[in-house]
Amino acid sequence: MSETGICPLCEQQLSELLSTTDRHGRPLRTIICRGCGLVRIDPMPDSGSLNDFYSHDYRLQYKGAWHPRPKHVYRDTRGAIMRARRLLEIYRPGMKVLDIGCGGGFFLHLLRSLSIDASGLEPNRGYADFARNELGIDSIFTGTLHEYAPDNRFDIVTINHVFEHLPDPLAALARMRGLLKDDGAIIMEIPNIESTSHAPNRIFHYGHLYWYNPITIHALLQKAGFGIADMAVARGNEHINLVIRLQPETEATALGILRGMLIGNYHRVRAIRDRHTRLRHYLSRAPYRRILGKCLQYSREFLATWRARSPRAIADRVCQAAIPELRRRILTGAEAAKHKSL
C-alpha cells in the first residue's frame, strides 16, 4: 500500500496501487482510494506542467495531429449531433451555452447553425485556431478554466470528456458554479472506471487524472454543492452522462454523510477491475464487437471524407443532414415549456 496524499473526495490517506502502466505500456502509477473507491494517477502532475501539456502536446499525443484530421472532423461532428440531442432536452430559445474544452469547435459550429448563442473554452492553441480560422467561430477563449472571466453567466455549461483531465475537480466545480446562472445546468460526460469495453491493459493514460464511477461522481458533485438531475450509463462504452444543477440549499453535503454514501464502493470498483483480466476480456464478445465496429467506422469515415474540399465542407455536410431534426426538437421543447407554464 502506498500513502501518497489525501484523497480529494473522502479526505483520507488510504490509497493502494491499481496499475503501474499506461495504455501504451509506459510507466504510470494509478491508485485507488480504499476509503471511497476514487481512482487517480499518482503523483498528480502540477498545474504548470499540465498547462504546458494541454496547450501544446495533448492533441498531438492523443490524436497524432496539431489540427483535426478529416476523419476527426467527421467523427467529432457526428458526436456533436448526439450531444446536441441531449442539450436540446433542457435548452430553451434564448439560453446561452458554454462548451468547456471545445476542441476544434464542431459542437459550437452545430449549435451556431441552430442559431444558439454558444461560446467555447479551449486550452490547445492549434485546435482553438482551427475553430476560429476554419469554422469562423469567434467566441472561443484560448486558455484554462481558471483564466476564463466572461462578462456574462451561462444557462447551460457543457463539459464532454474533459472533467477527468482536471487536476483539482472541486476547484473546477467551484469555478463552473461561478460561470453558471443560479437556475442553470451542467451537462457532463465522463468515462466510467467500471467499464470493461477496453482491454484491462489499454485503459489508463497520463491525460485522465481521475477515474469515476456513478457513486464517486455523485458524491463529488454533492460535496461541491451540486445535485444530479439526471444520470445515465451509456450502453457499450459505459460512459456516464449527467445533467447537474445547483442544490436548492447552498450547503454542500457534510463529509460524514459523504463517507457513508461511499461505504463499500472501494470493494465494488476493486472487484470489477480485478475480475476484468486480459484472459476474461479476450474470451468475451466485447473486443471482437469493438474491432468490427472500428472497421465499419473507419470505412465510413474514409468514404465520407476522401474527396472533401475542406474540413469545413465535411462539418457542414454532416450538420446540414441533422439540422431539420434538431430544429424540430427545439420547437417541441419550447412548446412543452409553454404548456407547463400555462
Based on the shown chain and the rule CB under 5 A, indicate whether residue 9 belongs to the binding site for Zn ion. Answer: yes
Task: Give, as ranges, the residues between 236 and 255 that touch Zn ion (CB under 5 A).
Answer: none
Instruction: Give the residue, chosen from 35, 103, 167, 311, that forms a contact with Zn ion under the rule CB under 5 A.
Output: 35
Could you tell me which stretch among 33-41, 86-94, 231-239, 279-287 binds Zn ion (CB under 5 A)? 33-41
Residue 22 CB, shortest distance to Zn ion, in Å, is 22
Is residue 260 within 8 Å of 215, Cβ to Cβ?
Answer: no
Is residue 154 within 8 Å of 179, Cβ to Cβ?
Answer: yes
Residue 32 CB, shortest distance to Zn ion, in Å, is 9
Based on the shown chain and the rule CB under 5 A, indicate whether residue 10 belongs to the binding site for Zn ion. Answer: yes
End-to-end alpha-carbon separation of the chain, Å?
60
Cα 84 to Cα 97: distance, rounded to the nearest angstrom? 11
**# residues near Zn ion by CB under 5 A:** 7
Residue 170 CB, shortest distance to Zn ion, in Å, is 13
Q: At what angle do helices 125-135 and 106-113 cross, to 10 degrees?
A: 30
Task: Give, as ranges, the residues between 98 and 157 that touch Zn ion (CB under 5 A).
Answer: none
**Sign of the CA dihedral 190, 194, 196, 202?**
positive
The verdict on whether omega for the bond into residue 43 sits within 30 degrees of 0, i.e. cis, is yes
Whose CA is closest to 15, among 27, 5, 25, 26? 5
Residue 209 CB, shortest distance to Zn ion, in Å, is 15
Based on the shown chain and the rule CB under 5 A, indicate whether residue 220 belongs to the binding site for Zn ion. Answer: no
Instruction: Give the residue, chosen from 18, 32, 33, 180, that forms a contact with Zn ion under the rule CB under 5 A.
Output: 33
Would strands 96-100 and 154-160 be described as parallel, antiparallel, or unpaired?
parallel
Residue 36 CB, shortest distance to Zn ion, in Å, is 3
Complex with Zn ion: residue 29 or 112, whichever CB lies closer = 29
Based on the shown chain and the rule CB under 5 A, indicate whether residue 172 belongs to the binding site for Zn ion. Answer: no
Complex with Zn ion: residue 261 or 313, whichever CB lies closer = 261
Complex with Zn ion: residue 91 or 212, whichever CB lies closer = 212
Residue 40 CB, shortest distance to Zn ion, in Å, is 9
Residue 10 CB, shortest distance to Zn ion, in Å, is 3
Complex with Zn ion: residue 33 or 121, whichever CB lies closer = 33
Residues composing the chain:
342
Could you tell me which stretch among 25-33, 160-168, 227-235, 238-246 binds Zn ion (CB under 5 A)? 25-33
Sequence-ordered alpha helix ranges (H) in 206-285: 214-223, 255-261, 265-275, 278-283
Instruction: Give the residue, chosen from 18, 31, 32, 36, that forms a contact with Zn ion under the rule CB under 5 A.
Output: 36
Could you tell me which stretch among 10-18, 22-30, 89-97, 128-136 binds Zn ion (CB under 5 A)? 10-18
How would you label 111-145 residue by residue, b for 16+ Cβ within 10 Å and e otherwise?
bbbbebbbbbbbbbebbbbbbbebbebebbbbbbb
Residue 74 neighbours by CB distance under 10 Å: 25
Residue 48 neighbours by CB distance under 10 Å: 8
Based on the shown chain and the rule CB under 5 A, indicate whether residue 7 belongs to the binding site for Zn ion. Answer: yes
Which residues are CB-contacts of 248 (< 8 A; sequence separation ≥ 6)? none
Complex with Zn ion: residue 109 or 223, whichever CB lies closer = 223
Residues found near Zn ion in the complex (CB under 5 A): 7, 9-10, 33, 35-36, 38
